[in-house]
Structure 1
Amino acid sequence: MVTAITNGIKISVETAYQDDFSNHDQQRFTFAYRINIENLSDHVIQLKRRQWFIFDSNGTQREVEGEGVVGVQPVIEPGSYHSYVSACNLSTDMGSMSGNYLMQLMVDNTEFIVEIPEFELIVPYRLN
């Protein structure tokens, strides 16, 4: 698990290779990831947008940006958290992701960036 804290918001990431959804012959490797967003601050926040940087080990990189996460813009109370699961396809059996969330303080609508720590996406047989 990879974890980072920015402005009182703790982001934790766990990954899992999805062999059933991958196709080695077609160079499609699917990875699921679980994100836990924990509000350690004293303020109610809302996740407004996400931005991902996705890297394959062959040098290919992509950027994905959009509203919310998996169709929602969660409001997270102090001491609470929001978790979700999503997935990413790579064209290689190794890669990484990193990014950020645009958050908003509900008390005054101030926006701020929370970093998503870089995490590796590696098929299990590469770890031996």
Structure 2
Amino acid sequence: MQAIRSRDTKPERLIRRLLHAQGLRYRVAARPLPDLRRTADIVFRPVKVAVFIDGCYWHGCPEHYVPPKTNEGYWSGKVTGNMARDRETDQRLREASWEVLRFWEHESPDECANTVYRVVLRRRQALLQRKLGHLE
């Protein structure tokens, strides 16, 4: 269990590298909300975007998840709990006006980074328009 990375996985690093190359700056493994004891893989606080890159095994990917052969009850319960916590996290963030982006580790890093880039830019523009609207 100690050898399993909870951050800085290869898919995360690839997506972060692509986002950085596009000029985006972000927080890594940060809490989007101070009172939420969960961290997102990539956080854009000013525009309230939280990005999660979920591992296929640990988060129950419908395409790649294979139940374990040994101690099935324990591990399947753990994955089911992770999935429930993911849904609760999404709900709590959305209630706080955050945009939640979830990707599977097997998805194309280029496509993931492009999606994140578009969402962040869209939310930046909306934030800027709201600020300008208050000045008028």
TM-score class, shorter-chain normalisation, is under 0.3
> Which protein has the larger Cα radius of gyration, Structure 1 or Structure 2?
2
- Between structures 1 and 2, the one with greater helix share: 2
- Between structures 1 and 2, the one with greater strand share: 1
Q: What TM-score comes out, normalization by structure 1 length?
A: 0.25
Q: What TM-score comes out, normalization by structure 2 length?
A: 0.24
